């Protein structure tokens, strides 16, 4: 186990790298939202929100591949998306992160589909979410490249949601594709049918931003809570970008998988803690004896 002094020195190094950065690319995975209170594996919260599904033996929001009747499936989606995506309250952890970044030139790339960055002050035009957004849904086939606003759908579903059974009671409320009348699904990446068109403009802007950076730019890649569920989305691109830009540095914050490649020694810093602990530490003044600047 690392000593408190080791963690303090690591946090001081992150603070120094952030202060020295000309540009910041925040890359984030599910660990950041879990640290912010949106933990898909939280069994107590699952039982509170989905008692009917809990009685069926389900224990978490990781329902990919679980066959459910449409009335139960869309009851789940309505409650889940309303809780995760459309909750009105600001999130303190994302707010603190936004304050830490301040007016530095920055971008966000996240595998999260909850829009918590945009909902907490980050510029929506500088957020790339390649895995999709709970705020959109699409034809399952798909018959068209169009996607549709989820919010009115969720409101309609909740109006006929029965908490006791966990089901949508009005069959007419169940969604159909506005174009072909077929099945629909939430616009998140689960297979080749995923429509990524809404996210491609942001991908292009991020690519342009990165290409415009001189090779010697002091870019800090701040990776928060990205594991190995989809390493090709967050972890590997961050490593490759650090290799490509000699002036770049990578901070990898992950309590279970903080390891960084050996060839990036000196420019990649593993931080074996949760995003909430790091952000909390950066909020505090660096102890004088650890000031690295």
Superfamily of domain 4-290: TPP-binding domain (3.40.50.1220)
Which pLDDT value is given to residue 288?
43
The answer to whether 72 and 52 have CB atoms below 8 angstroms apart is yes
pTM score of the predicted model: 0.93
Q: The tokens of 139 are what?
A: 């034809």
What is the pLDDT of the chain when averaged over all its residues?
93
Q: The tokens of 159 are what?
A: 């109006």
State how far the alpha carbon of 61 is from the alpha carbons of 38, 50, 108, 163, 262, in Å.
10, 9, 25, 16, 36
The answer to whether 133 and 187 have CB atoms below 8 angstroms apart is yes
pLDDT digits (tens, 9 = 90+) for 18-45: 999 999 999 999 999 999 999 999 999 9
Measure CA 40 to chain center: 12
User: Binning pLDDT at 50, 70 and 90, where does residue 66 land?
Assistant: confident
**Residue extents of the structural domains in the chain:** 4-290
């Amino acid at each position: 186990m690392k000593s408190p002094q080791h963690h303090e020195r690591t946090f001081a190094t992150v603070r120094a790298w952030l202060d020295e950065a000309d540009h910041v690319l925040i890359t984030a995975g599910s660990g950041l939202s879990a640290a912010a209170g949106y933990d898909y594996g939280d069994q107590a919260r699952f039982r509170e929100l989905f008692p009917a599904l809990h009685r069926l033996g389900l224990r978490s929001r990781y329902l990919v591949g679980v066959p459910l009747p449409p009335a139960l499936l869309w009851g789940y989606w309505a409650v889940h998306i309303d809780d995760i995506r459309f909750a009105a309250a600001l999130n303190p952890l994302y707010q603190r992160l936004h304050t830490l970044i301040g007016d530095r030139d920055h971008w966000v790339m996240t595998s999260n589909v909850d829009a918590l960055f945009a909902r907490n002050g980050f510029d929506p035009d500088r957020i790339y979410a390649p895995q999709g957004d709970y705020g959109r849904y699409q034809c399952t086939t798909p018959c068209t490249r169009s996607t549709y606003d989820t919010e009115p759908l969720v409101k309609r579903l909740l109006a006929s949601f029965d908490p006791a059974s966990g089901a949508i009671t009005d069959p007419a409320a169940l969604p159909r594709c506005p174009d072909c009348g077929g099945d629909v699904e939430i616009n998140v990446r689960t297979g080749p049918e995923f429509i990524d068109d809404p996210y491609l403009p942001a991908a292009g802007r991020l690519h342009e931003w990165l290409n415009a950076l001189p090779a010697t730019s002091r870019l800090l890649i701040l990776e928060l809570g990205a594991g190995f569920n989809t390493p090709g989305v967050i972890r590997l691109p961050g490593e490759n970008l650090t290799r490509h830009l000699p002036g770049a540095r990578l901070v990898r914050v992950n309590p279970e998988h903080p390891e960084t490649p050996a060839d990036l020694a000196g420019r990649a810093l593993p931080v074996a803690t949760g995003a909430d602990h790091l952000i909390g530490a950066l909020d505090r003044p660096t102890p004088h004896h650890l000031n690295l600047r």
